[in-house]
């Protein structure tokens, strides 16, 4: 039997590494994901303690069972799920968790399984058809469910977000009133939810969206029990340094307090990126240099999907035995597959003498990067190491390492 070479030459998570520096010294052949449980736990505690309401982790951002457990240990008890696969996963990993099915379009069979087999009681919707589907799927022997939390998703502006999520879902202005009235009659608790887009760079996004919520409540003249401001809370990336999260929380709290809702109404949010971006980074090897292009062993079909397909820029640094004194230059990356689309334009700033055989750490990949890997062309990062150092950037009051692009081994 052929014996495959281990990426580190040893069993995963047995190196005792404290950070990328120690991993690079081992000269791994394949990419290695660095996991920072302490960073995810810190982010969870931050939201639990400082957000003025309930925080639901958006599982799609990173569905790792280990991460789900870490967030649970950090105080996150509610989970935003978007598919029956995520429902089943959370049920298995965290049987005590409360799940909220926040995808506005679901198969009727999926709704029934979530409700009857996994005790899901919260569902979002943005059309009358979806409302009717939820009522049918949760009825039994002609008896309509009386314990549903139904959240009507309204369309809001995504102008403050780096990645718009406003086109696909959300009730139109003309549909909001009849939909809220109908949902109120079917729901034990009625809510309104929205999504300001991914990586919202200004708290004004939430203030403006909550003003739309106020208009909707007044228009429909219904009692609203839950206001869910969705996700969009940012992390730190090159060229994207948002205000402190407390500023977002303060704006949201003020907007919620101004709504015509009862004192018992609940405020929810659905952080994904903000809870898990700092959880992981990636160590890659440069296999070739061609001018200002670096060929690395992970890419568009692996952890760097967003860097390739939407031009997301991640922090990078060079891990080298002898410190480079060469001035930084801007580089683009090619991934390991045979596809020309496997390209990350960047620019990524690194010392100008970087070349084949060097190792790089690419940071802030805990959100979406770890979740979107494929095995296309036979490539795929599978090795991981738990490390103790700080993420390359942080919004959680820690002293992250100076933002340098070279680290001496």
pLDDT per position in the chain (409 positions), as tens?
333 333 333 334 444 568 888 899 999 999 999 999 999 999 999 999 999 999 999 999 999 999 999 999 999 999 999 999 999 999 999 999 999 999 999 999 999 999 999 999 999 999 999 999 999 999 999 899 999 999 999 988 787 767 766 677 889 889 999 999 999 999 999 999 999 988 999 999 999 999 999 999 999 999 999 999 999 999 999 999 999 999 999 999 999 999 999 889 999 999 999 999 999 999 999 999 999 999 999 999 999 999 999 899 999 999 987 888 899 999 999 999 999 899 999 999 999 999 999 999 999 999 998 888 888 888 886 799 999 999 999 999 654 433 444 444 4
Whether 20-36+278-408 shares its CATH topology with 37-276 is answered no
Between 3.40.1000.10, 3.40.50.720, 3.20.20.10, 1.10.10.10, what CATH number should domain 37-276 receive?
3.20.20.10
pLDDT single digits (tens) 208-257: 999 999 999 999 999 999 999 999 999 999 999 999 999 999 999 999 99
DSSP for 249-286 reads HHHHHHHHHTSS--TT-EEEE--SHHHHGGGEEEEEEE
CA distances (Å), origin 243, targets 37, 232, 236, 246: 24, 13, 10, 8
Reference 72, options 92, 52, 101; nearest CA is: 92
CA atoms within 13 A on the CB side of 292: 12
For the stretch 178-197, what's the b/e string if a residue is b when 16 or more beta carbons lie within 10 angstroms of its beta carbon?
A: ebbebbbebbebbbbbbbbb
Reference 256, options 202, 211, 217, 198; nearest CA is: 211
CA triple 92-46-312, angle to 5 deg: 80
Torsion (CA) 343, 346, 347, 353 in degrees, nearest 10: -50
Q: Which residues contact 276 (CB under 8 A, 6 or more apart)?
A: 40, 43, 61, 62, 67, 71, 366, 367
pLDDT single digits (tens) 197-209: 889 999 999 999 9
Give the Cα separation of 301 and 373 in Å (integer).
Answer: 6
Residue 162, pLDDT score:
75
Angle between helices 245-257 and 204-220 in degrees, nearest 10: 20
Residue 166, pLDDT score:
67
- Domain locations in the chain as residue ranges: 20-36+278-408, 37-276
Please state the pTM of the whole predicted model: 0.90
- Peptide bond just before 266 cis, omega within 30 deg: no
Reference 103, options 126, 136, 132, 119; nearest CA is: 126
Residues paired with residue 406 on neighbouring β-strands, in sequence order? 318
Reference 304, options 369, 390, 233; nearest CA is: 369
Q: What is the CATH number of domain 20-36+278-408?
A: 2.40.37.10
CA distances (Å), origin 256, targets 152, 229, 281, 351: 17, 9, 35, 47
Contact 283, 360 (CB under 8 A): yes
In terms of DSSP H, where are the helices of 317-386? none
């Amino acid at each position: 039997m052929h014996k495959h070479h281990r990426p580190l030459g040893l069993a995963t998570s047995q190196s005792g590494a404290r950070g990328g520096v120690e991993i690079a010294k081992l000269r791994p052949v394949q990419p290695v994901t660095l996991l920072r449980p302490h960073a995810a736990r810190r982010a969870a505690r931050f939201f639990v303690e400082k957000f003025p309401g309930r925080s639901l982790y958006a599982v799609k951002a990173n569905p790792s069972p280990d991460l789900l457990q870490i967030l649970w240990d950090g105080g996150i008890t509610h989970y935003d799920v978007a598919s029956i696969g995520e429902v089943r996963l959370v049920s298995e990993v965290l049987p005590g968790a409360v799940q909220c099915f926040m995808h506005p379009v679901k198969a009727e069979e999926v709704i029934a399984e979530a409700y009857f087999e996994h005790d899901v009681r919260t569902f979002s919707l943005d059309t009358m058809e979806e409302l009717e589907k939820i009522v049918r799927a949760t009825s039994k022997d002609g008896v309509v469910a009386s314990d549903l939390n139904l959240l009507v998703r309204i369309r809001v502006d995504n102008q403050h977000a780096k990645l718009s999520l406003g086109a696909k879902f959300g009730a139109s202005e003309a549909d909001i009133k009849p939909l809220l009235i109908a949902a109120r009659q079917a729901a034990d608790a009625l809510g309104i939810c929205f999504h300001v887009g991914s990586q919202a760079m200004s708290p004004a996004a939430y203030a403006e969206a909550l003003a739309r919520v106020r208009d909707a409540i007044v228009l429909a003249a219904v009692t609203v029990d839950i206001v869910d401001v969705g996700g969009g809370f940012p992390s730190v990336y090159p060229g994207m340094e948002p205000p402190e999260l407390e500023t977002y929380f303060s704006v949201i709290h003020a907007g919620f307090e101004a709504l015509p809702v009862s004192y018992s109404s609940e405020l929810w949010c659905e952080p994904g990126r903000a809870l898990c971006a700092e959880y992981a980074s990636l160590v890659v090897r440069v296999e070739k240099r061609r001018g200002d292009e670096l060929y690395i062993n992970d890419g568009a079909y692996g952890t760097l999907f967003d860097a390739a397909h939407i031009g997301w820029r991640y922090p990078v640094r060079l891990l080298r035995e002898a410190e480079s004194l060469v001035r930084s230059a801007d580089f683009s990356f090619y991934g390991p597959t045979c596809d020309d689309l496997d390209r990350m334009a960047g620019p990524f700033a690194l010392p100008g003498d970087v070349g084949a055989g060097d190792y790089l750490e690419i940071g802030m990949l805990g959100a979406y990067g770890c979740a979107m890997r494929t095995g296309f062309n036979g490539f795929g990062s599978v090795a991981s190491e738990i490390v103790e150092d700080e993420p390359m950037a942080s919004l959680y009051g820690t002293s992250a390492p100076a933002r340098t692009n070279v680290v001496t081994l």
